[in-house]
Amino acid sequence: MIRKTVSVLLLAAGLAVSVATPRIEVDNTTFNCGKVVEGKDSSVKAKFVLKNTGTSPLKISNVRVSCGCTVLKYDTIIDPGKTSIIEPVVNIEGFRAGFMSKSITIISNAQNNQALNLIIEADIAPAIEISETYLTFENVKSKTLYLASAKKDLKVSGIVFKPQAQGNQGWAASVPLNLKYKFTALDSTRADGFRVYRLDINSPGADKEPLLGEFHLTTNHPDKQEAQLRGRINNQ
């Protein structure tokens, strides 16, 4: 009877050991940072709350990050029932405006998910927004664009059209056209804090052949000293 009781106790202890496992849970697998404006030294910071819902210590052995993302610090051990915060930072300097998605992977001894993938999202707004994505001069004297920026004293100090080489017009690529313009700050501020500006660009004049290329706007914005806009000139 004693021997049978001891066997039962040992079996129960063995089952208890086998059941004692770490489990990882997260408050949200995707963190949306909202809107952020592009620029030098710009970054977005995410926040995830990890919890060990298991019965033994959760050990994080590594945090793998995608390009541009860093994790400053994190707890390597999370005791049962405890939580830990992990705050990845994504450096967006040099990123193009638009939707951004980066990921980090939490490598641990969790029984339920040993490689937990987390997503960081953000909408990167250009430092200077331009109302048109393609500017065409075709038998018109001027074109009006609207610019928007968080910079309250934005200035444009020059506009140049740089033709691209095409066909027998290879020479044109080395002859940029300086354009006349009028830049006006409007008494209008959007809900996101961006001030609106009006830019009237005069026609560069007649050309023998249509020209494709880029309009280059020189500005006083520290993070966008030159804004580019593809376009076409055809004044025939």
Tens of pLDDT, residues 62-98: 999 987 788 878 899 999 999 999 999 999 888 888 9
Rounded percentage of the chain residues whose pLDDT exceeds 70: 86
pLDDT band at 110 (very low <50, low <70, confident <90, very high): very high
Q: For residues 6-29, give the mean pLDDT.
A: 70
| Mean pLDDT of the chain, nearest integer | 87
What CATH topology corresponds to 128-234?
Immunoglobulin-like (2.60.40)
Entry pTM: 0.73
pLDDT band at 11 (very low <50, low <70, confident <90, very high): low
Q: Where in the chain is the domain with CATH 2.60.40.10?
A: 22-125
With residue 2 as reference, give the H or E element that holds it: helix 2-19
The CATH architecture of the domain made up of 22-125 is Sandwich (2.60)
Rounded percentage of the chain residues whose pLDDT exceeds 90: 64
User: Tens of pLDDT along 167-186?
Assistant: 555 544 557 889 999 999 99
Task: Say if CB 163 and CB 170 are below 8 A apart.
Answer: no
pLDDT band at 40 (very low <50, low <70, confident <90, very high): confident
